[in-house]
Structure 1
């Protein structure tokens, strides 16, 4: 019986010691930086229709900008450079007037962008009258041709 009490006391002391070590390590870990870069990754979609919720998605691409530009986006390097210049504001990358002449055909396309830019959640959408207008008024980030 005495042997059992000694083992119990030893186990209790060991557990207390491990808890103190764990607390010390946790304090050290919280002081260390979480990573070398903040996450920056988006999913961009191109859909036929005039609203993000009802548009028929015809193309979706991924874009990751950290640590290096990558993803299924057709031009990840240019898209990441544009996003960096705009501070991750996808709305700032749409040109309100373009030099390219387009028809006045109503065949709406909607582009969406959802994800994280430097650790901050972003969500954006824009609808254009047709693909010609969309191509004339968007930067590389939203260059998602059919």
Structure 2
């Protein structure tokens, strides 16, 4: 029951982060200027210990909005947005910290991302061997 409540809360955050910026958007009349010059970029990111998102209860969740400016509950929103822009929104292409030595202790950490990046739907999940490996591979994007 607790797991269901946590996932419901995480999905609620996802809906608020993704749909919130879109609620004020209206269809422009022909010839009228668009209400926004930026494609929405609003993400909900979670982390938790376990092997996959289906069996993991999220331990931390943050929001990250990158357009038109960096904001959200992410502790380093500006830096995370810059790193995502540098990777063209591809979470697998993120540049991590180069000179980090991590133990091989297996304590899996799952990260998930749900939302919109530059107007395109995003759904991402990845499992790292431990928190050190996650931080070394993803820079500040999942450092929360």
Distance 1:94 1:114 in 2: 20
Name the SS for the 1:56 alignment partner: coil
Q: Is the 8 A contact 1:39 1:66 kept in 2?
A: yes
Give the distance between the partners of 1:114 and 1:30, measured in 2 at CA. Answer: 33
Q: Does structure 1 residue 137 correspond to structure 2 residue 123? A: no
Q: What's the offset of the Cα at 1:136?
A: 1.5
What aligned pairs does 1:28-67 form with structure 2 within 5 A after superposition? 29-32=29-32, 33-67=34-68
Query: Is the 1:91–1:124 Cα contact (8 Å) retained in structure 2?
Result: no
State how far apart, in whole Å, the 1-side matches of 2:93 and 2:44 are: 17
Report the equivalent of 2:15. Answer: none
Q: Which runs of 4+ in 1 moved over 3 A?
A: none
Q: Where in structure 2 are there 5+ consecutive unaligned residues?
A: 1-27
What is the number of residues matched between the two proteins?
117
Partner of 1:25: none
User: What TM-score do the two structures reach when normalised by structure 2?
Assistant: 0.73
Superposition RMSD on alpha carbons, in Å?
Answer: 2.0
Equivalent-residue separation in structure 2 for 1:78 and 1:61 (angstroms)? 14
Greater share of residues in helix: 1
In structure 1, the residue matched to 2:6 is none
Distance 1:66 1:49, change over 3 A: same
**Structure 1 unaligned spans of 5+:** 1-27
Greater Rg by CA: 1
Rounded Cα–Cα distance in structure 2 between residues aligned with 1:143 and 1:30: 44
* Cα distance in 1, alignment partners of residues 114 and 38 from structure 2: 19
For residue 89 of structure 1, what is the aligned residue in structure 2?
A: 90
Q: Relative to 1, partners in 2 of residues 1:55 and 1:30: Cα closer, same or farther, differing over 3 Å? A: farther
The structural deviation recorded for 1:35 is 2.0
Rounded to whole Å, the distance in 1 between the matches of 2:81 and 2:75 is 12
